Amino acid sequence: MAWRSSGSSNESLITNLTRNGLIESERVKDAMLKVDRAHYAPSSPYEDSPQPIGHAATISAPHMHASACESLLTYLSPGAKVLDVGSGSGYLTAVLANLVGPTGTVIGIEHIQPLVDMGRGNMAKSEEGRRMLDSGQVKFVKGDGRKGWAEGAPYDAIHVGAAAAEHHKELTDQLKAPGRLFVPVAEGHLQHIYVIDKMEDGSVDKQKKFGVQYVPLTDAPKS
Ligand code: SAH
């Protein structure tokens, strides 16, 4: 089903994702329409599939980006603060920035320096992306995302774009109350999306969603 959403342009890709029910809200649709995936995916940018971006990383499939945004949406109000762990190409970082608007902040954290630079460089390909970088609405930082990014905490929403081997407490600790974490977690050979809510009273609710296939959240390669 997911693969049937491929298009010949950014607009047709987003239209097909919407028609197939993978994008449900106007807000996510608008945010994705404003980011040209060709600035982020080196090949077949309008295919609904992951694409390699080097350094053993991939830009995730558009339907996964849509699903992450839909799932986090109530925590992505204008002005919200968001952490994007494993920001890779920077595509989702840019979409999240559109959702939280100019009064919001999105921090993309990556542990491979060339990918930190790639995320920033990809965003700088558009005038709107350059404005977001210059204003500080979007920031790319280098670090081990399994520990979150304490400097920017607490966050309304945290997205993790690589599969965690365990539930990292630092990420939940850095959520606001209320706040939401979207994270793929590896369990044996399988991976599942977990949506983890920190409630207003500080209690935590974990919900296991659907099966997925992400690259793993790892130690940084030795350079
Ligand atoms: N959201 C990105 C996904 C990139 S793939 C996109 O769609 O473009 C997952 C990314 O997680 C890779 O770029 C990889 O380098 C990064 N990553 C893996 N382990 C990490 C860690 N411990 N800390 C930060 N980033 C990590």
pLDDT in tens, 31-63: 999 999 999 999 999 999 999 999 999 999 999
- 215 alpha carbon to ligand 1 midpoint, in Å? 8
Told to judge if 6 belongs to the known catalytic residues of this protein, a careful annotator would answer: no
pLDDT in tens, 86-133: 999 999 999 999 999 999 999 999 999 999 999 999 999 999 999 999
Q: Residue 104 is which amino acid?
A: G
Task: Express as a percent the part of the chain with pLDDT over 70.
Answer: 98
pLDDT in tens, 124-149: 999 999 999 999 999 999 999 999 99
- Which tokens hold the place of 44? 């077949």
89, 106, 110, best to mutate for ligand 1 pocket (most atoms within 8 Å of CB):
110
70 neighbors 28 (Cβ within 8 angstroms): yes
Side by side, which strands form the sheet with 105-110? Answer: 138-142, 105-110, 81-85, 155-160, 175-187, 190-198, 204-212
Task: Express as a percent the part of the chain with pLDDT over 90.
Answer: 96
Q: How far apart are CA 195 and CA 203, in angstroms?
A: 14
- 157 alpha carbon to ligand 1 midpoint, in Å? 17
- How much is the pTM? 0.97
User: What local confidence, expressed as pLDDT, does residue 99 receive?
Assistant: 98
